[in-house]
Structure 1
């Protein structure tokens, strides 16, 4: 009777294991001693990233407003000033209600606009990546906003956002940190943006949501 119960217990342990969690025999001979391999639970964003997909934002409330009790406005403004200094003519940044909005004016790098002749393409792209890595938080890619690619359709906006996301995910921005906002619903409508090229495919907007310490 004891042997039957033991066999049933081992069978249950083996059958309950997933492809990423297995029971490993610790001895070279048949044994009743097993150890279970612990597997970390992955977020939905990480699972989608592994499948080559990006999690999408459909409603503005899906991205919470910045908790100003956690992030000091003075520190955020200082960081934005720093970004604007090194971005130069490449783009600009400002403080929105949900994070730091970065308007990048080199959409041609992603094949979204006519190529802009420049011998600083690599340098400009490095500036963008540096800005997107600010605070090491979430990066939201807009397909279009009130200030960029305003004339594209919803379907075109979705393709646009995904194209940019795939591009930057190959350059030091982990896929699990990237969210897509096809219609820019999480981006504010503030008119204090300083992009020199507006309503044009050359402007690509990003929202950097700071990571809480």
Structure 2
């Protein structure tokens, strides 16, 4: 079984255990909204793109709203979780490039689901999945802090993974690879990381980061 298949199964199990009306780390989205988004992204790509382009306020997506409504009953919610767990058609774009397009999406949104109501115990991911996650996230991690007021270096606590960023006076973000990924993806408050640097550098970075 591929890593994306394992993550999809685990993600679906977490949705089954969750309160559909609980908050997530995605502003304006409950668990039900997040589930609808993931399913729409895999099974109705054009509608998903339209919603992303035209929606100003999260929770008011035109097409996704119909899935949220269908998931309003216990039966409808369970059916949507089943659709997620079944995965995209292997003949679709999402199916053909499942690992490339979905692994990172699943892992980050899984934490959006888990941490929406506050801190939770960390998930234990297989070391090979972590390496694959880090590899696929690398291009995004490289770009995430390019507008930061100071140089940023990411140092995962896994010695098998390479650090990302510059060796210069700035800040060093350290922690578990998944925590660093979450921080780079905008889940600043929920990510458990350490920040090192001069007082001026860390203050400047913290002020910039709080605005993202």
Q: TM-score, with normalisation over the residues of structure 1?
A: 0.24
Work out which of the two has the higher radius of gyration on C-alpha atoms and give 1 or 2.
1
For CA contacts below 8 A with separation 6 or more, give which structure has more relative contact order. 1
Return the TM-score normalized by structure 2: 0.24
Q: More strand by proportion, 1 or 2? A: 1
